[in-house]
Each structure stands twice: as structure tokens, then as C-alpha cells.
Amino acid sequence: MTTQDQPTASQTSAPDEPVLRYTPALAEQIELKWQDIWEERGTFHAADPTGGTLTDGNGQPAGDRQPFFVMDMFPYPSGAGLHVGHPLGYIATDVTGRFRRMRGDNVLHALGYDAFGLPAEQYAVQTGQHPRITTEANIANMRRQLRRLGLAHDPRRSFATTDSDYVRWTQWIFLQIFNAWYDPEATRPDGGVGKARPISELIDEFASGERTLPQDVPGVTAESQWADLSPSTRRQIIDSYRLAYTSESPVNWCPGLGTVLANEEVTADGKSERGNFPVFTKSLRQWNMRITAYADRLADDLDLIDWPDKVVSMQRHWIGRSEGAEVAFTIAGSGDQLTVFTTRPDTLFGATFMVVSPEHPLLEQVPDVWPDGTRDAWTGGYETPGEAVRQYQRDAAAKTSVERQADAGKKTGVFTGYLANNPVDGRQIPVFTADYVLMGYGTGAIMAVPGGDTRDYEFATQFELPVIYTVAPPEGFEGGAWTGDGLVINSASDTLDLNGMDVVAAKSAMNDWLEEQGLGTRTISYRLRDWLFSRQRYWGEPFPIVYDETDMPIALPESALPVDLPDVPDYSPRTFEPDDVDSAPEPPLGRNEDWVNVTLDLGDGPRVYRRDTNTMPNWAGSCWYYLRYLDPKNGDAAVSEELERYWMGPKHNDTAGVAGGVDLYVGGVEHAVLHLLYARFWHKVLYDLGHVSSREPFHKLFNQGYIQAYAYTDDRGAYVPADEVEEITAADGSVTYVWQGQEVNREYGKMGKSLKNVVTPDDMYDSYGADTFRLYEMSMGPLDLSRPWETRAVVGSQRFLQRLWRNIVDETTGELVITDEPADAKTRKLLHRTIADVTVEMEAMRPNTAIARLIALNNHLTSLDRVPREAAEPLVLMVSPFAPHVAEELWERLGHDGSLAHEPFPGYDEAELVEDAVTCIFQVQGKVRGRAEVSPSATDEELTELALADPGVQRALGDAPVRKIIVRAPKLVNVVAG
């Protein structure tokens, strides 16, 4: 560590250097000085509106300034520390926040820590320390690294998800969700239909008879009255409605991590997103969140927010809403119904067989013998349908996700022995079971139309099943399934004729017919599944839930919160061989019997209960942390309703819109369907229950790109230190990379210890200072683009700040070298032009182009004998969001008291933007042939005359007649020859 008294003897400072040259050592002095001042003065304290408890640095409430809430995605306090890529987003939000503050907004910017979860726990396990100790040490280190960056955060609003006081409210929100149900008919304040309601209202409705009891719970009949039901049957009914519920169902079990995972945490190839371990399907009793109840709103409300198209489309895709119909087929013989979901009811006449998933309830019983007409290919070589189906079910169940992935596309299956009647024409068709049909989607059963669906076509080919086309393929069609548009064919019966219609019309006509006949209904299906919410790990929030002898969950009262993590003999998860299918989860919290068994008085006297030993996934803490920034110390509520409305409510400022939410949320795209979907879901539950006024948590989302880096390998493939590699340009322009005399290969990718290419913010502070580092990151390119880090290019940003410094301060004496004389006309015009351009670029979050303008202005000022104050002061103010420390220092030296953080951003005079003369270009056939300086107000006629008289134009025109003249005054005239 360096201190202010002993500035880093930097490699660039020489003994005879002027004392006040803007060197890394001076930069560090300035930076540490202003960081202390900001902290002492509370410069970035965000004020509550009048009536709140938090004031600004002067002890004042917000007044009539517009609230602006800017936020970064919650960081994990990683044990590895930061590299230069991590702060990119933090600098971007800081720049935006500082800019908005200068534009007069009441800016709230804070940073907390997402400290629960697998990474923190794994780091603790590796180092053999309790996760709380390592987590707190990591947070302290990260705070230090970030403080040195000079971020304008309100430190009073920082916290970690692991703080007991925060855990308490995470658990409180869980209880809100647990104690709520989704009423699809209720009207919301925003006018929409469907909302979460307190579970007590459901009980009231059952008790009063207003709502009929569900019949699918054992012990409940059509005649049952609520009052007559046993307490445990009532609880069973109620529990089946809760938004947080336990269920025994197939889940993603990851032995390598020792925990179950949500669908969103499993990659397409059946591995855990974290750790890349195999994931198996296993039926276990687990907590779920009924996010599917919100599928429509999560999809629809994407229209209300300002997010990158990419993320919107990823969320839409993940929710996977598809409109279609459920159609009932009749099983021949028994007369039972087999309902399928289809998005193409128009192709019903082309259904030549059906497929049910191997887990489908229809298969609990199958016919004893193969029916007449059974082909050999269908039976799998078995004597009876029963044998064939059982064996197929066993094979399918034994498949891991990885194997399923590897087999995707291959069609396997077997005939079930059932025949069904196609409802449109009564034709008998065979029912197969095959694992390409998934139990979890639609009804777990499909009608197969090989003429119109590629998967069905493949299956039909393999099992010798007939193909009927119901949409006329185009000419030159080469066989297979035709999935495109066209006119309907082969689709008529006595009561229905779709022939000749297009697909859209046929769908609609078929749906109408099905509904008239009572054979089907229009339906919407979703890809989204409920959110698996429990983890068998130590480092997470315990569930505020206990169990009695019925094994049904009981919510702890709010007064029992927080439920803190107990000490356990060993907090490492019980993990297994990654491919150990037969293993089962073993939560570490179960290792503390004294904690698990607890005596409580929950209303009927002290009794012994068992605590839930699962913990919440780390997404829980990040689902609502933005709310806590608004009201970090509130002991009575997660967030006060007034503060939420002030900072996040609908139309809380000019850009908030009807949905409200955080004004700017910056983070990586990797959370597109995890954190961002879960947080939206929780927020909507809180909205329904009246705790928040905004419909969406994040109004504007911005995904910053990644800073990547080159890495170098020698001929054995081993990585060599990237900072020791030299780039050699040969005479022919070819480039080679050399390390210790040997040629090495260059790769491009992440920054990481194992790649030996890490550059840290600390390195940058030492060699250049925080301001230069910030400026460089912001000038590298557009914020949303990934790009390579290049340490040797950082010097460009340093030169800019040095020139700026020298334009204002004498390096030797420290005296001001500016003049109070007015600026010359050219300088003034450039200044106003720069202010205008920078304002536009800043508003559009294009720091790279804003900085380019600032450099251009500064370069111009460098060419003057003395820089006029008139230009120096606005320049310093404009630079301040990027390089706040040196800007503050210059501002002070320019004679101002106090921080420039709250100074108004410079304004410009429209009159100064008008140019005296512009260059008009003269084209012939679109090619430039001449030009002239003209007045900006020149008329079309004047310009035409000038153009036609131009020698270049005349030469290009030759003898050709002029057909047409296009004038875009005052910049362009294009003469078109005939």
C-alpha cells in the first residue's frame, strides 16, 4: 500500500521533473485527497424527499429535483479480486450519475454485495474458512479497490445480502409469497386481470362457499363443505394454491454440486451452468415458486420497459408463449379421452398417429395384446404392448440429460397398443410413446402430422407410418414435411371443409369448429416452468418455515425473523461423484440437530417443530436489493411505500413511464433470463400485494460489453505472461509475438489468472491513476461492445489529462496560466459546438464520442498562447464525470469553493453554433467534382448557379445535357446528366 506522504516513486517520474507535473504520483495525491473530501462532506449522499430520514451532504432533503436512480448489477465479492474488466459498468454508471447530478437530478447511486451463493461458498471451502469470514474479507478488499476508483456512491446505502438485517427482509418477502395465491380473475390497479392475493382471502372464499373446493385433493368430494374438512385436508388444499409451494416432482439434481438447480441454471447440453457438472432428473420434494402464473404478464410487460432487444427476445423465448388449441381424441374401445396440445389445429386432417410422452398417465395401463394391423416395426420386438411400453419407459427414465442431448434428433419409440379416433373424420390412428414428446410441455401428448412437422415426419419414416399433406407444398418441393405457408388441401369432411384456405384462416375455422363440437378449445401453452427454489447448500438464506408431524409447511411469524444460519460442524455441501445418479441431496443445515428441532409456540402452546434445512438460491437476495438501496435502515418494512413511489413509482420522472422502475440498470447480458426474470416476478408479486407502486423493477436496462484480453501460448501450449510479450512488426507488415526470444501464439478471450493476462485496477492506479484509468475505459469504444484491453494505449488518456492540466496550471509554480480575457471567436465557436455535441453524446450514453470531442477542444486550447477562463471552466466541468478528481482539483485551483459535483453542466448558445460559411460540394452523377465556400443561408438557385459554373463540374459534364439537379442546401448540389 502507498500513502499520501510517500507517493509511488513511479517509473515515469524523474528527479528533476517539475513538482506539479500531472504524473501518476501527483494524480494519486489528488485522487486520495478528493476521495477523503467527498466522504467527509457526504458529497454523494442522495437525499430522500421531504419527510425522509436521509439527507444530502448539507443536511437537506431533495427539494424539487427530479429523482434519478442508477444502478449496477450486484457484484459477487469474489476472492480473486477485480481485474480491469470488472469496473467498466461501474464507471459507466458513475459517469452517467455524475452527469445527471450536474443536470440537476437527485441521483441515487449505491453498491451492495451479493454475498450468498455457490462462488462465495466454494471459495470458503477451498480456503478452509467459514464463508462469513472469507465473504467479509472479500467485500472489504473490493470496497477498497472500488473506493480508489472514485465512484460517486452513497456509502450509507450499501449492504450485503448476508447481513442479518437484510436476510430478515428476504425471508419476509418469501413469507409474502408463501402466504399468497394467484387469482386469475382478480382485477389489478393497473386494469389488468389476474393478481396475487393474500391466502387469507382464499380461505375466506372457501369458508363462505363463494369459491368451490378443488376436487383433486383426497378427501374432497363435490358435496364437501369447508367447515367439514379436517384441518390437514384444508392445509393441503391451501398449500396447493400458494405461490411458494413444495412438491414432489422431477427436478434437476446435480451430484457434483450436491444440490438441485433451477431450469435456468442448467445449460442446453444438460450441465450445470456453474461448474459444468452433469445434471440428472430425479423426483424430489422441493420448494417451487409459481412463476408460471405470471407468464403472460412477464411477457406482455416487456413492452413497457426500455431493454435491449436481445434481452427482450431472450425473455420472450424463455417464457415461450405459444397459442394453439387443445383437442380431445377418443381412445378406441375404452372411450377415454386423450387430449393433445397443438399450434396447428389446421393440420388435424393430416394427423396419422399420436405420441404420448413416456411419463404420460395413459400408460399406467395399456392393452394386453397388439391390435390387428400392428406392424412389426412398431412393437420393438416385444410380445405385448405392456412389455414394450415398460421397457421403453425404463430406457427413457435412465437417460441422463446429457444422453438425451446427444440423442436429440434420433427418433425412438414404441406402439402402445392403443388406437384413437381422429375427431375430424373418425379415422383410427395408432398411439405411440416416444421421448421426443415431453411431459412438461402442453399436455404431454401430441397429434402427429408428418406432412407438416419435421419431427413427426422423421418418426413416420422410421415407423412406416402414412403421410398426408394438408398444406400444398410449392413447386419443386423435394419431400419431407412442408412447414411453410400455402393453400390447405386434403382437409374436408361432411361438416367441415378447409380446402383452399390459407393457414391462418384454416386455423381459425378449425378452432371455431372444434369449439362448436365441444372437441377442443383455444389454449395458450408456455415453455416457462415453475422456479425451483431450494438448494442443499449452507451459504444461503434459511427458509422461515417449520414442519409439524403432518410434514406440511408452516410459516414462521414475522416476529421470528430473521432466521439466521446456524453454526454447523461442517458447512461444505455433501457433493458426490459428478455422475453418481443414485446419490441424493443432504443439506448441511441438517447437521445441527439443536437448530433443526425447535420448540415454538405458534398459537397452540409450545410444541417441537422441525425446521426446513434447505436454503434459498442466491437469486433470492438479488431479487429485491434495489428496493433496499432506497431505504437501507428501515426496521419496519423492506422499503417504505413513500420512498419506493418517490424513486421508482410510475412517472417519477420524465422517462420513467407507466411501469416505473430503476432509471438505469447496467450489467452483463449473462443474467438475461435468470436474475432479470426472477426479480421481475418478485416485483410483480410485491406489486399485487400492494407493497410497491411500480410494475417493473428496471425501466432501462443496458448491457455493457466485456473487456477481454489477449493471451499467449508457447509451442507446448503453456501460457506465458502476457505483459512480457513483445509485438514485432516485420518489414512486410506481418506481425509476430515474441516472449523471451521465442515466438508465441496469440489467443483472444477472457482475462484470467490461468491465462496469465490479468491486469488489475490496482496496476492502473499505480501506473496512471484512477482518472486516467476511468477515462481510458470510457474512451475505448461504445459501452455495449466487447473489446480487447491494451495497456500500452492507456497513455493516450494520460496525455489528454496532462495537456488539460498544463493548459490551466504551471507545472513548476502551480500558478494558473489561464487568461480572463474573452475567448477569440474561433475558440468560442468550438467551445459551444463541443458543449452541444458532448451533451448529446452524454445523454445517449456514448462516452467514447463525448471524450473525443473534449480531446479535440483541449487540443485546440493547447495551440493558444493562453487559455481563456471562458473555455477552461466549461471544459473542466465537462471532463469531471470522467476524471472527477483532477477536475475537482482544477476547479479548486480556478478559484472555486466546494465540489463541482453539483455545478450545472455547461450550457451553450445556439447563436454560436451557426457557422459563418459551409463547404458546398458539387457532384456530377454522384461523384464529387468541385466545391465552394458558401453562406449557410444560400438558396437552391444560387447554389445551382455556382455548381453549373464550376470548372470541375463543367469538365465532368462535357457536352451531356443536364437532366436533373438535386440540391440539398447548403451542403450539396448533384448534377445529373441525361
Q: How many residues bind RNA (CB under 7 A)?
A: 90
Smaller CB distance to RNA: residue 377 or 793? 793
Length of the chain, in residues: 978
Phi, psi of 353 (to 5 degrees): -165, 175
- Residue ranges in 208-247 that form contacts with RNA under rule CB under 7 A: none
Smaller CB distance to RNA: residue 467 or 921? 921
| Interaction of residue 803 with RNA, rule CB under 7 A | yes
- Residue ranges in 305-334 that form contacts with RNA under rule CB under 7 A: 309-310, 313-314, 317-318, 320, 322, 324
DSSP 472: P
Selection from 554, 524, 480, 549 nearest residue 179 by Cα: 554
Distance of closest approach, residue 621 Cβ to RNA, in angstroms: 22
Smaller CB distance to RNA: residue 239 or 747? 747
Smaller CB distance to RNA: residue 268 or 911? 268
Distance of closest approach, residue 818 Cβ to RNA, in angstroms: 17
Distance of closest approach, residue 343 Cβ to RNA, in angstroms: 4
CA angle 681, 685, 691 (to 5 degrees): 130
CB atoms within 10 A of CB 406: 13
- Residue ranges in 576-595 that form contacts with RNA under rule CB under 7 A: none
Q: What DSSP string describes 735-775? A: EEEEETTEEEEEEEE---GGGT----HHHHHHHT-HHHHHH
Distance of closest approach, residue 280 Cβ to RNA, in angstroms: 15
Distance of closest approach, residue 377 Cβ to RNA, in angstroms: 18
- Residue ranges in 917-936 that form contacts with RNA under rule CB under 7 A: 919, 921, 923, 925-926, 928, 931
Smaller CB distance to RNA: residue 145 or 848? 848
Per-residue binding string, RNA, 779-798, x by CB under 7 A, is: xxxx--xxxx-x-xx-xxxx
- Residue ranges in 372-411 that form contacts with RNA under rule CB under 7 A: 404-405, 407-411
In order of 54, 168, 169, 482, 888, the CA distances from 634 in angstroms are 11, 11, 10, 61, 34
Smaller CB distance to RNA: residue 670 or 909? 670
- What is the C-alpha separation between 746 and 64, in angstroms, rounded? 55
Contacting range for RNA; rule: CB under 7 A; set: 532-540, 659-667, 813-821, 961-969: 961-969
Distance of closest approach, residue 700 Cβ to RNA, in angstroms: 18
Smaller CB distance to RNA: residue 125 or 262? 262
- Residue ranges in 13-52 that form contacts with RNA under rule CB under 7 A: 14
| Interaction of residue 864 with RNA, rule CB under 7 A | no
Distance of closest approach, residue 486 Cβ to RNA, in angstroms: 17
Calculate the CA dihedral of residues 802, 803, 804, 810 and round it to 10 degrees. 80
- What is the C-alpha separation between 764 and 773, in angstroms, rounded? 6
Selection from 435, 443, 431 nearest residue 334 by Cα: 431
Distance of closest approach, residue 84 Cβ to RNA, in angstroms: 14
- What is the C-alpha separation between 324 and 900, in angstroms, rounded? 60
- Residue ranges in 508-547 that form contacts with RNA under rule CB under 7 A: 525, 527
- What is the C-alpha separation between 100 and 90, in angstroms, rounded? 15
Selection from 67, 117, 79, 217 nearest residue 675 by Cα: 117
| Interaction of residue 341 with RNA, rule CB under 7 A | yes
- What is the C-alpha separation between 832 and 756, in angstroms, rounded? 46
CB atoms within 10 A of CB 710: 18
CB atoms within 10 A of CB 552: 14
Selection from 943, 936, 933, 931 nearest residue 913 by Cα: 936
Per the CB < 8 A criterion, the answer to whether 234 and 217 are in contact is: no
| Interaction of residue 716 with RNA, rule CB under 7 A | no
| Interaction of residue 862 with RNA, rule CB under 7 A | yes
Distance of closest approach, residue 795 Cβ to RNA, in angstroms: 5
Whether omega before 231 lies within 30 degrees of 0, making that bond cis, reads: no
Residue 281 DSSP SS3 = strand
| Interaction of residue 736 with RNA, rule CB under 7 A | no
Phi, psi of 740 (to 5 degrees): 45, 45
Distance of closest approach, residue 314 Cβ to RNA, in angstroms: 5
Smaller CB distance to RNA: residue 453 or 541? 453
Smaller CB distance to RNA: residue 137 or 673? 673
- Residue ranges in 425-464 that form contacts with RNA under rule CB under 7 A: 435-444, 446, 453, 455
Query: Which of 735, 865, 895, 961 touches RNA (CB under 7 A)?
Result: 735
| Interaction of residue 272 with RNA, rule CB under 7 A | no
